[in-house]
Amino acid sequence: MKRLHFRFERQAGWPQRVLIAAVTVFLLASQVWAQSQTHHTIRVVDSVTGRGVPLVQLKAEGNTFFTDSNGIVALDHQALINRDQAFEFASYGYTSIAQTLSTQLGNQSQISIVRNNRAERLYRSTGANIYAASVAVGQSTPINEPISNANIMGQDSVQWAVYNNRIHWFWGDSLYENGGGLGGNYWTSGATSELPANGGLVPSQGVDYTYYEDELGQTRPMFPLYKSSGRPVWVDGAFTADDNSGRERLLVHFMHVDSFLPQFKLREQGLAVFSDAAEAFVKLEDYGVAPVEQWGTGPPITPKGHSFRHSTGGVDYIYFGENYPNIRVRDNWDDIRDIATWEAFTPLRENSRYNAANPPLELDNEGKPVYGWKKNTDPLGTEIFEEMVTNGHLSRAAAPVGLIDHETNSPVRLHRSSVSWNDYRQKWVMIGNQSFGNGSFLGEVWYAEAPTPEGPWKNAIKIATHADPTGELGGSYSFYNPTQLPFFDEQGGRYIHFQGTYSSQLFDSAPNTPDYEYNQIAYRLDLATLPQLAANVPAADFNADGLVDRFDLATWLASFGTDAQGDANDNGITDGTDFLLLQLDYGRDLSVALQTAAYLAVPEPSTSALMLITTAATIASRVVAR
């Protein structure tokens, strides 16, 4: 052995490196083998995809275990190993089974379970011990911190924005694993991760968070000036915009909360901007103080929920919505800072406030509500909508919102949602959860789609449940404040990703799930498995803004004979046939008559529209002749 060592040192460097690498691999393999000998590894996989399934409950002889994000349980319970042992397997959205396993130390058992959910559960993205069982048996993990990260035990609802070409994440209350003063960070936590295109993990594998940490290595407040108050600060409506100097800025709506539930009240709210130097938020605009449960007090419009961008009528907007998209502002720094310029989608009269007994509806000549974008007015959200339907002021069938179960035609009361444009479906798609769903308080998750951000948001299909109809899991769970992650879309939007807060606190009947409680769980949905739920955007609406207008005509003209940007019939070229389709659709406005089925009809072009079309036809003929 000494001669061998001497010979490698005397020769070129590569054999020595090979030997070192071989020894390293041997030592690692030995370590993995040694770890595996102290456990029996049970891996539970999805019967269709073969992926490990997180959050599967195993029961045996009065003992309960849960799979980690690889779908693994590291079994070392002395009474259950080295024997033929019966187990019961159960999980929300999966068919329960019973199986007897031979639990020999050092061996592995693999169990397939049938998924009933349309969405596939991928992993838990926050909290401690995400891959604890995998580490215990020497299995590889995709993230750098599989056991503990920034001293976090649990994290509430997430907001995100792509800022400076990185994903920025912000959570509500974060609970510490150990110590930390009040036991957590209640002033918003933050982290960053890389986009998949820039070296980040494949979204189906996980998210590698780099948290903003304090000197103790634990997540620190994003609103440090409020920490001394002892009162929480929560954020929503995260978005980016360029300021007047052209610099990209990251903004959120913040709420300084006077007290926790059930006496929840606002102490302060406003718009905050991220300071790159301080790596924290500072207040930019003050929106005033008002108890949120009192309609008619405080500003009617604030950036709530999740944001997305959309251009309509040649104007760029940033949209927001806690449930239905119902708030927007021009993508302009001065408008963003002036809350008076923001608009609400609503049937109420402009400059009016909602009154439950006598809502100030704007009515047309036929006495029908006029839905549209209006300033200084309460937006049409679930609470106002459902109350006006119950009191007979609005018709659910005629309104542009009001989800209906695609399979049973039963109303779905939307709690919170996230909306994004999807290239694969060529529609706006929504992931939302239901209030008081069938079997759980906030645990039923739905998918819906619409041709415009304004709707019609009607047909919906359930994609995940957290109900426990048989009682095998000890009760139902909630999965609230879901958010889509469009930067994780795969295969042109066929696969979309979302995550939400998994919790039973205050809401449902199940006991806390160890490690998983009060954390974010990620899902993936294959849109190819879902039926069509909404009408498509007209073929000639080339910018997908719900309007077939002069901007689409300009696109067709600019693209004629050269590329597919004005291609309405999907034959790969912009030509005269596309112009005929544009002429048929010209003047169609999906955002005006959303409360009826009239948006499916094709209106006659106006005189000005005909002039534009005639001009376009003349230009096109000259191009062809030339």
98-143: pLDDT as tens digits = 999 999 999 999 999 999 999 999 999 999 999 999 999 999 999 9
Q: What is the pLDDT of residues 320-346, one digit of tens each?
A: 999 999 999 999 999 999 999 999 999
Check whether 6 has a pLDDT greater than 70. no
Q: What is the pLDDT of residues 438-468, one digit of tens each?
A: 889 999 999 999 999 999 999 999 999 999 9
Which of the listed residues 82, 109, 136 is the one where a domain comes to its end? 136
pLDDT of res. 16: 54
Under 8 Å between Cβ of 223 and 230: no
Same domain, 23 and 53: no
pLDDT of res. 439: 87
Which residue matches tokens 């936590």? 189
Lowest mean per-residue pLDDT among 129-138, 289-298, 616-625: 616-625
Q: Which of 371, 363, 375, 443 is nearest to 402 (CA)?
A: 371
Q: Which 3-state string (H, E, C) describes 6-70?
A: HHHHHCCHHHHHHHHHHHHHHHHHHHHHHHHCCCEEEEEEECCCCCECCCCEEEECCEEEECCCC
Amino acid identity, residue 72? I
Number of domains observed in the structure of the chain = 4
Q: Could you tell me which residues come within 8 angstroms of residue 433 by beta carbon, excluding any fewer than 6 positions away?
A: 414, 415, 416, 417, 442, 443, 444, 445, 446, 478, 479, 480, 481, 482, 500
> Does residue 426 fall inside a structural domain?
yes
pLDDT of res. 272: 98
> Does residue 243 fall inside a structural domain?
no
Q: Which of 182, 178, 168 is nearest to 218 (CA)?
A: 178
Lowest mean per-residue pLDDT among 26-30, 55-59, 60-64, 446-450: 26-30
Q: What is the pTM of this model?
A: 0.83
Check whether 12 has a pLDDT greater than 50. no
pLDDT of res. 103: 97
Which of the listed residues 482, 508, 536 is the one where a domain comes to its end? 536
Neighbours of 200 (CB within 10 A): 18
pLDDT of res. 23: 47
The share of the chain scoring above pLDDT 70, in percent, equals 81
Under 8 Å between Cβ of 252 and 236: yes
Same domain, 482 and 410: yes
Neighbours of 6 (CB within 10 A): 10
Cα–Cα distance between 230 and 358 in angstroms, integer? 40
Q: What angle do CA 485, 504, 252 make, to 5 degrees?
A: 40
Q: Could you tell me which residues come within 8 angstroms of residue 259 by beta carbon, excluding any fewer than 6 positions away?
A: 231, 265
Same domain, 31 and 45: no
Same domain, 56 and 22: no
> Does residue 58 fall inside a structural domain?
yes
- Segment 550-562 mean pLDDT: 78
Alpha helix ranges (H) inside 482-575: 550-559
Q: Which of 280, 274, 324, 331 is nearest to 304 (CA)?
A: 324
> Does residue 164 fall inside a structural domain?
no
Under 8 Å between Cβ of 75 and 101: no
Grade residue 558 by pLDDT with cuts at 50, 70 and 90: confident
- Report the half-sphere exposure of 533 (CA within 13 A, side-chain side): 28
Same domain, 404 and 529: yes
Same domain, 524 and 589: no
- Segment 415-437 mean pLDDT: 96
> Does residue 369 fall inside a structural domain?
no
pLDDT of res. 550: 74
Q: What is the pLDDT of residues 205-221, one digit of tens each?
A: 999 999 999 999 999 99
Check whether 406 has a pLDDT greater than 80. yes
pLDDT of res. 581: 67
Paired sense of beta strands 404-405 and 459-464, if any: parallel
Same domain, 406 and 497: yes
Same domain, 460 and 414: yes
Grade residue 484 by pLDDT with cuts at 50, 70 and 90: very high
Domain with residue 119: its CATH number is 2.60.40.1120
Neighbours of 248 (CB within 10 A): 12
Residue of higher predicted confidence among 294 and 79: 79
> Does residue 285 fall inside a structural domain?
no
CA distances from 345 to 381, 455, 570 (A): 9, 11, 33
Angle, helices 550-559 vs 607-625, to 10°: value is 0
Sheet containing strand 427-434, strands side by side: 404-405, 459-464, 445-450, 427-434, 414-422
pLDDT of res. 247: 98
- Segment 378-391 mean pLDDT: 96
Amino acid identity, residue 163? Y
Paired sense of beta strands 233-242 and 248-259, if any: antiparallel
pLDDT of res. 593: 39
> Does residue 115 fall inside a structural domain?
yes
Residue of higher predicted confidence among 15 and 88: 88
Same domain, 409 and 531: yes
Which of the listed residues 87, 106, 136 is the one where a domain comes to its end? 136
Same domain, 467 and 415: yes
Cα–Cα distance between 423 and 257 in angstroms, integer? 39
pLDDT of res. 264: 65
User: Which domain does 499 fall in, by range?
Assistant: 399-536
Q: What is the pLDDT of residues 501-529, one digit of tens each?
A: 999 866 778 889 999 999 999 999 999 99
- Segment 233-249 mean pLDDT: 97
Q: Which of 179, 186, 208, 182 is nearest to 195 (CA)?
A: 208
Check whether 144 has a pLDDT greater than 70. yes
Check whether 172 has a pLDDT greater than 50. yes
Same domain, 567 and 618: yes
pLDDT of res. 564: 61
Same domain, 416 and 496: yes
Q: Could you tell me which residues come within 8 angstroms of residue 346 by beta carbon, excluding any fewer than 6 positions away?
A: 326, 371, 372, 374, 377, 378, 379, 380
User: What mean pLDDT, rounded, does the chain reach?
Assistant: 86
> Does residue 519 fall inside a structural domain?
yes
Lowest mean per-residue pLDDT among 356-360, 483-487, 601-605: 601-605
The share of the chain scoring above pLDDT 90, in percent, equals 71
